[in-house]
Amino acid sequence: MFTPIHSLLGADLLHLSTSHHLELTGRPLGISGILNGAVLGDRETWRWAFIAGLVGSAVVGNLTSIAEVGWGVHRYGLEDGLTGGSISRRVLAGVLVGFGSKLGSGCTSGHFLCGMSRLSPRSIVASITFFLTATLISNVFPHPAFNTDLPRSDKIGMTLPDLAPSWSSAVHLVPIALRLFHYLDFLLPGLLKRIQGRSRSQSTRSPETNTDMTADTATDKGTRTAEVVLSFFSGLTFGTGLLMSGMVSPSKTLGFMRLPFLSILSRDHHSAENGARGWSEWDPSLAMVILAAVLPNMRHWLKKIKPRVDKSIEPKLYQTADQKIGKSKVNPVTPGQGQKSRWQVPLGKAAYNIDSRLIIGSIVFGLGWGLGGVCPGPALVRLGLDGAVRAEGWTFIASVLFGMKLAGFV
C-alpha cells in the first residue's frame, strides 16, 4: 500500500542520521560495514553503540506506536514479510546479502543513501547494479508475501493509500523531537561538547603545532566517548526512520520492485485466476526515500560537508578549539603527507575504482535483497520486535554474518 506521508517522514529521519553522522565523524553510515566490523573486525565500541541504537529503535517504536504505523501501512507485513518465506530462502538470502555487501564494500545504506548523495561513481554503479538485479530476481522468484489469496483491494500496492492510520500524538512528535534533539545546542550538540570538554581541558599541547595532541592522534578519551554517544543516537534515529517509512517490512521494498510491465517474468503470470498484474499492486513508497533522504543528503554534502573535505578541515567532532573559530595555523591534514584524514569517504581516483569485486558483489547482494526483501539495517531493527519477527530476524542476521565471513576468503 502506498504510504507517501509515512515514507517521507521516515526518509527525513534517514537523511538526518546519515548526514549528521558523516558531518561530525567523517564516517558514512554503511550498516553492513558497521555490522561486519562489530562482529568480525575491530569490534570498536562506536559500532556496537550504533547497533544498539538500531535495535533500540524498535522499543521506542513499540512505546510510541511507530511500530504499529510501520507495520500498519501493510496489514499483512508481519505475517507475510520476512516471516513468510521458507527458512531455506531466508538463509540463502542472508548469505547472499552478507557475501555481496562485503565483497562490494557496501549495501543500500552505504552505496545508495550515502554514496549516491556524494555522486560517487562507485556507489552509483553499485546501486544501479543491485537494484536491477533485485528487481529481476524478485519478479522471477516472487516472495511468498505476493502469493497470497487476499482480495485484490487488500494486496500490497497503491490501492486505497492509507494516509493516516493510527496517528497518535506520540507518532506526530517523535520525528520532530529527534530532529530537535540532533540540532538544538543544549541537547545532543551540547552533550557532545560537555563530554569532550572534560578531557580536552586536561590534554597536552604540542609546542611545534600548538594543537591538541590527543585530538590529532585520536586518543582523546572524551572525543571517543562523544563518538559512541553520537553513534547510539544515529542508530536510534536511523532505525526509527526505517520503522516509520515501513522499510523494515520486506513487502514494502519488494512491492516497489514489482513493476506491472515485469509481470511477464513471474512464474505465475500464466494463471488466469490471478490475471495480469496492474499498477494497483505496485508500491512506490521507496521512491519517497529518494525524495526525502538521498536528495537532501546530496544538498547537505555539496553545501556543508564537501567544502570541508576539499579544504581538509577535519570532521566537527575532531576539530580543535582553534579550528572551530578559524584561528588554526596548522597545515591541513591531507592523505599522502604522512598523516591520515579522518574523512573515510572514497575521493579522487578511489571514487572511480569500479572493479570486478564491486560489480560481482553488487550482483550477489542484489540476488539476496531480491529474495529476502531486507538488508542488514532493517534486519537489525527487526531484532527488537516481538515474536516470530525477532526469532527469524536472528536467523537472517546469522546468515548475513556467515556470508561476510565467506567473502573474507575471496
- Whether 336 maps to a domain, the answer reads no
DSSP state of 9: H
Give residue 385's pLDDT: 78
- The per-residue DSSP string of 33-101 comes to HHHHHHHHS---HHHHHHHHHHHHHHHHHHHHTHHHHHHHTSTTHHHHSGGGS-HHHHHHHHHHHHHHH
The number of beta carbons lying within 10 Å of the beta carbon of residue 88 is 8
What's the Cα-to-Cα distance from 315 to each of 215, 302, 308, 310, rounded to whole Å? 11, 15, 8, 12
On whether residue 271 sits in a domain, the answer given is no
Alpha-carbon span 161 to 203, nearest angstrom:
57
HSE value, Cβ hemisphere, 13 Å, CA-based, for 291: 13
Q: Which three cell numbers stand for residue 352?
A: 572511480
> Identity (one letter) of the amino acid at 110?
G
Chain centre to alpha carbon of residue 85: 23
End-to-end CA separation in angstroms for the chain:
40
Residue 272 included in any domain: no
- The answer to whether residue 349 sits within a structural domain is no
CA 71 to chain centre: 19
The DSSP letter of residue 353 is -
Domain count across the chain: 1
Query: Cα-Cα-Cα-Cα dihedral of 44, 48, 50, 54, to 10°?
Result: 160
Instruction: Let me know: does 346 contact 353? Beta carbons within 8 Å.
Output: yes
330 domain residue, yes or no: no
Nearest residue to 19 via CA among 222, 237, 208, 170:
237
Give the residue ranges of the chain where pLDDT is below 70. Answer: 1, 65, 67-85, 145-172, 199-220, 263-281, 319-341, 386-390
Contact 113, 293 (CB under 8 A): yes
The span from the CA of 395 to the CA of 90, in Å, is 8
CB distance 109 to 369 below 8 Å: no
**Domain-located, residue 343:** no
Q: Domain limits at 179?
A: 4-266+279-321+354-407
Separation of alpha carbons 318 and 246, rounded Å: 35
What pLDDT was estimated at residue 15?
95
Q: What is the pLDDT of residue 391?
A: 74
pLDDT for res 4: 80
CA–CA separation, 256 and 249 (whole Å): 12
In a domain, 332, yes or no: no
For 43, the grid coordinates are: 569490534
CA separation (Å) from 105 to 76, 111, 115, 361, 403? Answer: 33, 8, 11, 8, 13
H/E segment holding residue 166 = none
Task: Report which residue type is found at 76.
Answer: Y
Q: What is the C-alpha to C-alpha distance for residues 145 and 1, in angstroms, rounded to an integer? A: 13
Q: Give me the pLDDT at residue 199, please.
A: 59
Q: Which three cell numbers stand for residue 134?
A: 533485485
Would you state the pLDDT for residue 157? 40
Which amino acid belongs to residue 383? Answer: L
Q: What is the pLDDT of residue 328?
A: 43
Q: Does 273 reside within a domain?
A: no
DSSP state for residue 351 in the 8-state scheme: G
Q: How many other CB atoms are there within 10 angstroms of residue 93's CB atom?
A: 29
